[in-house]
Amino acid sequence: MLHNRIITSLLCILLLSSIALAFQPFDLTSRRQLISGTGLDQPYQLEAGLIIENSEKISIDDSLLVKEQDYRIDYVRGILRLKGVLAVSDTAIVYYQVFPFDLPVSYYNPILTIRDDEVAEIDTIKPPQQPSEAQVFDTGTLRKSGTLVRGITIGSDQDLSVESGLNLQVEGRLGRNIDILALLNDQNTPIQPEGNTATIEEIDKVLIQVKTPKFDATFGDYELVYSGNRFGGYYRKLQGARLDARLGDVDATISGAVSRGQYHSNFFFGEEGNQGPYRLSDKQGRTGILVLAGTEKVWLDGVRLQRGENNDYTIEYGLGEIIFTPRRLITSDSRITVDFQFSNEVYSRDIYTGFTEARFLNNRLGIRTTAVAESDARNNPLAYVLTDSAKSALQAAGDDPTAAEILQVLQVEVGEGEYLADTTSWGGATYAIYTYVGFDSIGDYNVVFSYVGYNQGDYARVAGSEGFYYEWVGPNQGEYAPVQRLPLPQHHRLADVEIWGEPTKTSSIRFEGAASDLDLNTWSEEGDGDNVGVAWSTEGHWQSSEEKSSGDFSRLMLDANVRDVDAKFRQIDRTQQIEYDRYWDLDSGASEEESVAEAKLTLRPISFWTSSGSYGFIDKASDGFQSERWSGESRFTGRNLPQVTANADWIRSSSEPLGRTGFWTRGKSSTSYRIWRLTPSLSYEREHKRNSYADSTAGFQFSDYIAGMIYEAGYIKLESSQGFRSEDRYKQEELSDFSASQTSHYKAGLSSWHDLSGDLLYTHRAKKFDEADSAEVKTDLMEINFGWTPFGRAVDLAANYRINNTQVSSLVQTPLYVGAGQGTHVKVGDIYFEDPDGEYILVAQSTGDFTPVVELEGSMSLDLDPYRLAKGVKEKLPIPWKHLSSQTLINFSEKTKERDVWALYRLDFSKFQGDSTLLGNLLVREDLYLFRHSRDLSFRLRGEINQSISNLYLSGGQETKRQLISFRVRRSFSEEWSLQGDIGRESDMRNYRLSGVSSRDINSWVTSLEPVFRPSRVWEFGVRAGLLLDNDGVEDIQATRYGLEPRIVRSFMQKGRGELRGSWYHVTTNAESLPYEMAEGDPPGDNFRWDLRLDYRISRYLTATVSYSGSKDADRDAIHIGRAEVRAFF
């Protein structure tokens, strides 16, 4: 098709040009963001905070918005609030600038106050003075800001609701040597952290902090971090109170709070050709969990990663899913560790802690104590009702989490249930079962099902078109049972004591002892004999000389540690190093119990050469496991010298229960050296693991080679690396070929050269398997960013393109009825359409059935505006060209199973939105302007193509193709009179893949004329006359929609604004009923809308807003909504 060729040509030219010109990161201060309308009255979170004040420019449909009149913006937190509702069909374009560095959103700089009695009097002698009243009763200096909001809402078919919000920030000095910081906010914001930025700002954080020279008191939301050597480390996000004291050489902390989550850790291997999402699971293995924002720590192959779209990974906190960016290649060899805190939404958890640290003898002797008690509020469960039967089940369960369950089957009247009681045969036996029959049917039972484990239940969870239900699949063939499993309330306590000292200036010793008490069920005393466990550790360090300055170094160092953990000890936070199982070659599911001894000797004969060797032994008696570990490392590094590192590990292990004897050797070496502007590098890694059993041998061996080159010259930096990995696995006592992979990595960047900016990242990996029935797996990752702003930004070009290999899940869309005017969708037939006055909201849920896809995202915007040229250059242009300008916008995204991936990569749009597409969007918009910046006369010609396809929902797919061409003229006859006219031709084709639902092919003519009269600066009168002609070619339906939209605006100079808007549209048609897609969703007949709004500033710090809106469609009763709000500013 013609438009596909145009799009492909434009993007190919853009990408080829950008590659030829090289790349650099984007301008650190300028940002551009597109905000798609949702049809809801809600705030919008910008991609960055710390915005430079008044740097923003916001436009909707070419109309520049006015601050305070059309929108409000929180520059610190990056929150945009529009005065009106942004329709689903509208897009707001936001330009703004941010500070090119990270700053905390709020921090406090204490005010230093020097009084007369604190200054040494030397030159003069003054008679003693009595303190003044101001000195005795010193209120200090407080700086406060914020808002207080009170409002009410009342409407048709809804009760009166009261809205209250407080957002207050106070900081400064209160009295002598008392500093205070208060952040108070009682608003429930709909904005949830998305986990796609490096930093996450909690805009609803509540905090009061009081600081004195010796004490700090904190109330509200805070993060509690206790440093600990091995057993006493602790980190939680809490809501409560804490007190910190600094008394000379003693620091102390006590706290009491309610926890917002529980600590847990996941370890898993990556998958070849899959960057995510990877689903995190709780302690029972359930996925779809709620992860507390900002609590996650992610390691890849033992290396800590950084969150953010421009960094290593993004996370969806509401679903507990992680996606890795193209900057981090994930393979089947990738080892991924994630520590996080999650909310189980079953019990609230009370936490009490205490911490002290004391130092003596000029810090040469110290002691640290930590006490933590975490307890679930067993009497107030959040997820179930604590009935007598539930309490009895919990008391009888002991410590077995699978034993506490109650039958949840309720018989109701016929037609009020979702299930029927039935019987079936299986293996010659008869079973009583429950059969799903759906809503509004003959069902007479409501049944609650719970996850009980793989092949532990008789039912399977099945995704339907409008939700999930449960189906009997056979005894022990499913994962669910018709019971409610009750989570056990737990109580976990930890006490830790740590003592350290320095006998000499070159030696130190450290002892740590800890005891834990974990009650897995506080309702039952059964099984409490194993609640208490202990652990201890001793460490020592010695070096040959004292390091007094930066150039000093010790030639010999010795470190040793011994620790013992019994089988009953339970960690409350991470106590072991990352990849501890790999470090010792532990069996999966190993217990906490262990006895460990380690020693390490480090030699540094010369400043640029360091070598070390270590030996360790671990014994897990209760697991019948032992392991010995030898390791060595050598580093050669120095200025103008090659950088050389090498390390090796030898691990010998044995496991009596498995009858296994293992030997694991690992080695890795690398070298690099800068020559002129080039830095070549070479690395080699090899592992060989052999597990010998009584009747077989298992294990693997791999070799990994990587060669790389870096070129740096002024503005440009180029990087390239080639890697090759071969892997063998044991088969019949011998190693045989298993797989071979090759990975290519390219990166380029250019720093601010001739108004150019951008970067390029591309990774290609191919893995072949020796098995004949195994296909080759290829992975391609790419990220391109490009910007060019020459001639004083008269040309403003920005583009980005990203390729990722991910997976997507099919979705179930569950409708929830919330009442007329309270929802976001209306139901017409079997389809739900977006409608701000609807009565349904739609909740999308993942089925967990994932499909691998190639994901492409890209955009290009080009703004050509001679108005921004330098005055001398602009005057030389011919008159027509001087006043011509244009805006081009291309956005696309595609998630597809298409096999011809290179056709996708080179943007062959004939491969987009085809049978293999699961989700796709394409938008192409071209605007041509004449006299764009003139207030007297301006013209705009717009062409737009908007295509989308969705095949994710089980209820059926939908494909939409919309094309538009329109012409707009604006004319200002005088200061009082102006006119805007629009005319356009639009085609809207919708193909529904739903049984019984007719597709649409609607062609429309739309025209409008809007005169505006402004007799003075405070009055504005306008009326818009509109005409719409629709024709559906599928069912030969015609519709005509015509009407008026009058408005009156009254401005109160520096006080506020009042506005009255209304609309009347009459719809006629040749059909008995009109499809919702036609006539803007209005039914045949007369349709009315009205909106009255008054914003008034009562005083400098007090504003009031009153609004009344309503609608009356021809086939609906009238809907009325009234709101009133008072807002106070501090």
Contact 440, 527 (CB under 8 A): no
With a cut of 80, say whether residue 989 has pLDDT above it. yes
| Cα–Cα dist 686/399, whole Å | 44
| Amino acid (one-letter) located at 740 | A
* Apex 1029 CA angle, 1025 and 1035, nearest 5: 155
Give percent of the chain with pLDDT exceeding 90: 48
Tell which phi-psi region holds residue 1085, choosing left (phi > 0), alpha (psi between -120 and 50) or beta. left
Q: Please give, one letter per residue, the 3-state secondary structure of 708-743.
A: EEEEEECCEEEEEEEEEEEEEEEECCEEEEEEEEEE
**Range 621-637 average pLDDT:** 94
Q: What pLDDT sits at residue 3?
A: 44
Token pair of 863, please? 């703004």
With a cut of 80, say whether residue 117 has pLDDT above it. no
Token pair of 352, please? 């009490």
What is the per-residue pLDDT across 577-614, written as a single tens digit (0 to 9) for each? Answer: 999 999 999 988 888 899 999 999 999 988 889 999 99
In the chain, what is the straight-line distance between the N-terminal and C-terminal CA atoms, in Å?
59
Contact 715, 752 (CB under 8 A): yes
| Cα–Cα dist 892/946, whole Å | 10
With a cut of 60, say whether residue 1064 has pLDDT above it. yes
**Range 671-686 average pLDDT:** 95
With a cut of 70, say whether residue 762 has pLDDT above it. yes
What is the per-residue pLDDT across 269-325, written as a single tens digit (0 to 9) for each? Answer: 999 999 989 999 988 788 888 898 889 999 999 999 999 888 999 999 888 999 999
What is the per-residue pLDDT across 552-570, written as a single tens digit (0 to 9) for each? Answer: 667 899 999 999 999 999 9
What is the per-residue pLDDT across 823-837, written as a single tens digit (0 to 9) for each? Answer: 777 777 667 777 777
Q: What pLDDT band is residue 177 in, cutting at 50, 70 and 90?
A: confident
What is the per-residue pLDDT across 359-403, written as a single tens digit (0 to 9) for each? Answer: 998 889 999 999 999 999 888 888 788 888 889 999 999 888 888
Residue 157's nearest CA partner among 839, 943, 1087 is 839
With a cut of 90, say whether residue 65 has pLDDT above it. no
**Range 884-897 average pLDDT:** 94
| Cα–Cα dist 680/682, whole Å | 7
| Amino acid (one-letter) located at 515 | A
pTM of the model as a whole: 0.79
Task: Round the average pLDDT of the chain to a whole number and report it.
Answer: 85
Q: What pLDDT band is residue 781 in, cutting at 50, 70 and 90?
A: very high
Torsion angle in degrees (nearest 10) through CA of 554, 558, 564, 569: 20
Q: What pLDDT band is residue 114 in, cutting at 50, 70 and 90?
A: very low
What is the per-residue pLDDT across 179-207, written as a single tens digit (0 to 9) for each? Answer: 888 887 765 554 456 677 766 655 567 88
| Cα–Cα dist 737/122, whole Å | 88
What is the per-residue pLDDT across 849-870, written as a single tens digit (0 to 9) for each? Answer: 889 999 999 999 999 999 888 8
Low-confidence winner among 14-23, 398-407, 429-438, 885-894 (lowest mean pLDDT): 14-23
What is the per-residue pLDDT across 1012-1044, written as a single tens digit (0 to 9) for each? Answer: 999 998 899 999 999 999 999 988 999 999 999
Q: What are the angstrom distances between the C-alpha of 665 and each of 601, 612, 701?
A: 20, 17, 9
705: which strand partners?
Answer: 684, 724
Diameter of the chain measured on Cα atoms: 110
What is the per-residue pLDDT across 691-750, written as a single tens digit (0 to 9) for each? Answer: 999 889 999 999 999 999 999 988 899 999 999 999 999 988 889 999 999 999 999 998
Residue 571's nearest CA partner among 592, 595, 587, 590 is 592
Q: What are the angstrom distances between the C-alpha of 887 and each of 64, 680, 878, 941, 1040?
A: 15, 44, 20, 11, 32
What is the per-residue pLDDT across 658-677, written as a single tens digit (0 to 9) for each? Answer: 999 999 999 999 999 999 99
Radius of gyration of the chain (CA): 34
Fold of 956-1130: Maltoporin; Chain A (2.40.170)
| Cα–Cα dist 137/131, whole Å | 10
Token pair of 191, please? 């904005």
Token pair of 1096, please? 């008034």
Q: What pLDDT sits at residue 61?
A: 65
Q: Please give, one letter per residue, the 3-state secondary structure of 509-525.
A: EEEEEEEEEEECCCCCC
3-state secondary structure of 873: helix
Contact 496, 231 (CB under 8 A): yes
Contact 143, 172 (CB under 8 A): yes
- Ordered by start, the domain boundaries in the chain are 29-97, 263-343, 405-485, 956-1130
Token pair of 904, please? 């996708």
Token pair of 1092, please? 């009255």
Q: What pLDDT sits at residue 550?
A: 54
Q: What pLDDT sits at residue 563?
A: 96
Q: Residue 903 belongs to what H/E stretch?
A: helix 901-905
Q: What pLDDT sits at residue 1039?
A: 95
672 phi and psi, to 5 degrees? -150, 155
Contact 465, 336 (CB under 8 A): no
Contact 103, 139 (CB under 8 A): no
Q: What pLDDT sits at residue 19?
A: 35
With a cut of 90, say whether residue 909 has pLDDT above it. no
Q: What's the sign of the alpha-carbon dihedral 453, 458, 462, 467?
A: negative
